[in-house]
Structure 1
Amino acid sequence: MSTDPINGGSVQRAARLVATIPAPLEAGSADAPVLLHTGGRRLVVQRADTELALLDPASGDLVRFPAPWPRDLGTVTVSPSGDVAVFAGLHAVRAVDVSGATRWEVRHACWADECPEMHEDFAEYADDRGEDGEHEYPDSGSAAFSADGKLLWAHVRGPLAGDGEDVESDEFWLVLDAADGRVLARTGTGTVASGSFHTVPPDPAQMGLSIGEGEEGSPALWGRLDGGVLSVRKVDDETVLLDVSPSGRHLLATDVQQDALYLHAADDGAILRDLDADPAVPPYPQEGRVYWDFEAAFIDETTVVAGTSGSDAGYGPGRHWLVGTADMALRARISYPEPVCGPVRSAGEGAWYTVSEDRTAVLVWELAQEG
């Protein structure tokens, strides 16, 4: 460790580069690469308008899933086995194999605000995405596989295709059989989402969901499937889930203003401890308000790596911090052997990752051995 008073906690802790994984697609024509991890396996996925590329870093195998619609229309995830991609689009949640063939599809009400149609295909609104079109700036939901890959959790706009007229137009959180798309359970969320994302715990019967409602709010939900019944508890309002601990017992979250990190108990959502960015993190000269990033990672049950790269931008290099959750205290600033940018994200197995500034590589890190 080394001391550095201006950069926090008076202590720095070194990170070690575990792997540099080249992004599978050209940065100029695709979203930034994302590393998914489950069961000790890591997969790098990257979305372009016409395809989703999936790279297995361990084997070097690269597969490409043809995309059913452009990348700005919804979100995508892949199964832990890497053989199925699920696209959560404007009008449907669709599972496809590597040939692009549809394995199953759950159609739902369109995410475009003013659209009353129950679409059957993207072609129905492909030409309605220009200026003043109903589908120009649509809202979206999301989907995620359970840790064992047997369930698919999806946040959609209702009603679903096939629902009767008595079903209210609500947003739904669905639990689907990942093999065939059967709806096993669902519940209304009572939200008006502009977007959402899932947080995957180790227990396949549980899942987290963060819903952004623009100026309306940002509720975080925790779902549990038990005996075919989906029970949902609100973790908190104005909250964004960041990660879940390796045991699944603790949740890490921040508020929408990004003022503090919160450690929640997963079983009842209670706030156990919190850490305000101010005064814990010393600002750069002229920086003003310091705030946490919307990304962070548990590296073990009692240790988190979190960043302030967003508030640091323009004042100095983005900084990442080691936080102890036993007392929610800043332990050290992470020091890297080379420049890094952006927030930290979980890579599993005690590691975290960053994306290179030019979005051409995923960099996997872990704490270096002390001494």
Structure 2
Amino acid sequence: MTITAQLSHSVKLPSGAGLVNGFAFEGRGDASRRALLHNGHELEVYNLGEIFSGELAPTAVFPVPWKGWDRGVNSVSPDATFAVFSGQRAVRAISSDGKQLWEYRHGCWGPELGHPHTGDEQEVCRGLEHGSCRISDDGRLVWAHVMHGADGHDWQECWVVLDARDGHELARLPLDSAASGSHHVSHPDGLHMGLCIGMGQDGILLHWARWDGKRLTSWDVNEGLDRILMDVHKGLEGFLTVEHYGANVRLHALDGAVLAEGAPESGDDENPACWDYGGGFIDAESIIASTVDSDEDAGRARHWILDARTLHVRGNVSYPTGPVASYARPLGDGTWLTYNGKNGTLDRWTTAPS
């Protein structure tokens, strides 16, 4: 079955690829959804609704604290008054006027044991490994995946909860991971936070936690799993994952129990299609998933609509503009984004009325 997409909005945005690839969005709904884009040594914050209304100026701009550091996943407060940056040796909060609010020091993500530091905070040590951070939806907490240990000795990765006002540590969870990178997903219930840790060829670890003001309650869903955390939706109790190599997508209850599973329908025995890591909930009823990386035929449909509860494939997406080669970034409100790298256009789609 073919499902026709209908163009809702389109805007020229040269940096718009970052809104489709990676972890650029925070908040929900056009009024509060923040789009985070890196531009040189600055982190620019946009309001998605304003972008499609023609207002292409950022609502806030934050200087990146470490000019040589371009890794880590950063976060911006709901009111865009401060940003929190995940550095190689610290988590740092910066106000909208560029002033440092606080800093939480931690061990170095550089992989060499006992490697020295010159004392220059702009020094970037060898390696691509990094952590991530996420400000809670109420702006009160900062969740951060960090390294602890002195100069690489007795290191251990930890998940920490920080007070957003001054950066002091409220709770710490030791982790059994050796990350290449990580990202957070905030649950729309405003209580739970998910942490997905990528360890390269060693697989994926996935944790959930909540902080009730006094105690950190956490659990992992890693037994027998090797899955990337993709998305959550306020209309459903669970969360969506994709298998490390794209064999299937699964819907899980919050405790990790598998509620549904769906495999790609395209490809053949010699060249089976695989789901990409991008995709998620169009709304509480539908999911969009992509096989861009594994569908080598440019004329083949590469985006697929799945039932959000059963993960059965409803059909492939047909675009009136022709095949779309980018990932799809669903927004949870019935629309999704794609990016046309040839003309620098960010497009917003919905399904056409049947």
| TM-score band, normalised by shorter chain | 0.7 to 0.9
Q: Which structure 2 residues correspond to residues 3-82 of structure 1 after superposition, within 5 A?
A: 11-23=1-13, 35-40=24-29, 41-59=32-50, 60=55, 61-62=57-58, 63-69=60-66, 70=68, 72-82=70-80
Residues 313 and 209 of structure 1: is their aligned pair in 2 closer, same or farther, counting only changes over 3 Å? farther
Q: Which structure 2 residues correspond to residues 25-174 of structure 1 after superposition, within 5 A?
A: 35-40=24-29, 41-59=32-50, 60=55, 61-62=57-58, 63-69=60-66, 70=68, 72-114=70-112, 116=114, 122-123=121-122, 125-126=123-124, 135-159=125-149, 169-174=155-160
Q: Which structure 2 residues correspond to residues 204-215 of structure 1 after superposition, within 5 A?
A: 204-215=190-201
1:143 Cα offset (Å): 1.0
- Among residues 185, 189, 211, which one is paired with 2:175 in the alignment? 189
What CA distance in whole angstroms lies between the structure 1 residues aligned with 2:65 and 2:298? Answer: 42
Identity of aligned pairs, percent?
Answer: 33
Q: In terms of mean alpha carbon deviation, does 226-235 or 188-197 score higher?
A: 226-235
CA contact (8 A) 1:31 1:46 kept: no
- Give the match's secondary structure for 1:243: strand
CA contact (8 A) 1:23 1:46 kept: no
1:22 Cα offset (Å): 4.0
Q: In terms of mean alpha carbon deviation, does 80-89 or 351-360 score higher?
A: 351-360
- Among residues 205, 219, 222, which one is paired with 1:233 in the alignment? 219
1:219 Cα offset (Å): 1.1
What CA distance in whole angstroms lies between the structure 2 residues aligned with 1:88 and 1:43? Answer: 18
What CA distance in whole angstroms lies between the structure 2 residues aligned with 1:204 and 1:90? Answer: 28
What CA distance in whole angstroms lies between the structure 2 residues aligned with 1:173 and 1:34? Answer: 19
User: Which residue in 1 is equivalent to 2:164?
Assistant: 178
Residue type of the alignment partner of 1:272 = L
User: Which residue in 2 is equivalent to 1:6?
Assistant: none
- Give the match's secondary structure for 1:215: helix
Residue type of the alignment partner of 2:41 = T
Q: Which structure 1 residue ranges, 5 or more long, are not aligned?
A: 1-10, 127-134, 162-166
Residue type of the alignment partner of 1:262 = R
Residues 346 and 86 of structure 1: is their aligned pair in 2 closer, same or farther, counting only changes over 3 Å? farther
What CA distance in whole angstroms lies between the structure 1 residues aligned with 2:262 and 2:207? Answer: 21
What CA distance in whole angstroms lies between the structure 1 residues aligned with 2:16 and 2:243? Answer: 34
- Among residues 330, 337, 356, which one is paired with 2:320 in the alignment? 337
CA RMSD of aligned residues (A): 2.9
Residues 251 and 49 of structure 1: is their aligned pair in 2 closer, same or farther, counting only changes over 3 Å? same
1:180 Cα offset (Å): 2.3
What's the TM-score, normalizing by structure 2?
0.86
User: Which residue in 2 is equivalent to 1:132?
Assistant: none
2:334 equivalent to 1:350: yes
1:93 Cα offset (Å): 1.0
Residue type of the alignment partner of 2:136 = S
Residues 366 and 84 of structure 1: is their aligned pair in 2 closer, same or farther, counting only changes over 3 Å? farther
1:302 Cα offset (Å): 3.1
What CA distance in whole angstroms lies between the structure 2 residues aligned with 1:211 and 1:33? Answer: 14
What CA distance in whole angstroms lies between the structure 2 residues aligned with 1:86 and 1:313? Answer: 39
1:17 Cα offset (Å): 2.3
> Which 4+ stretches in 1 moved above 4 angstroms?
24-28, 30-35, 117-121
1:78 Cα offset (Å): 1.7
User: Which residue in 1 is equivalent to 2:261?
Assistant: 274
1:324 Cα offset (Å): 0.7
Q: Cα deviations across residues 77-113 of structure 1 (Å, max 9, x unaligned)? A: 2222222222111111111123321112111100001
- Among residues 265, 282, 292, which one is paired with 1:299 in the alignment? 282
Residues 84 and 18 of structure 1: is their aligned pair in 2 closer, same or farther, counting only changes over 3 Å? farther
Residues 341 and 27 of structure 1: is their aligned pair in 2 closer, same or farther, counting only changes over 3 Å? closer
1:118 Cα offset (Å): 7.6
Residue type of the alignment partner of 2:227 = T
Q: Which structure 2 residue ranges, 5 or more long, are not aligned?
A: none
Aligned length: 340
CA contact (8 A) 2:17 2:339 kept: no
- Among residues 284, 290, 302, which one is paired with 1:319 in the alignment? 302
Q: In terms of mean alpha carbon deviation, does 39-48 or 194-203 score higher?
A: 39-48
User: Which residue in 1 is equivalent to 2:246?
Assistant: 258
1:259 Cα offset (Å): 0.1
User: Which residue in 1 is equivalent to 2:353?
Assistant: 369
What's the TM-score, normalizing by structure 1?
0.82
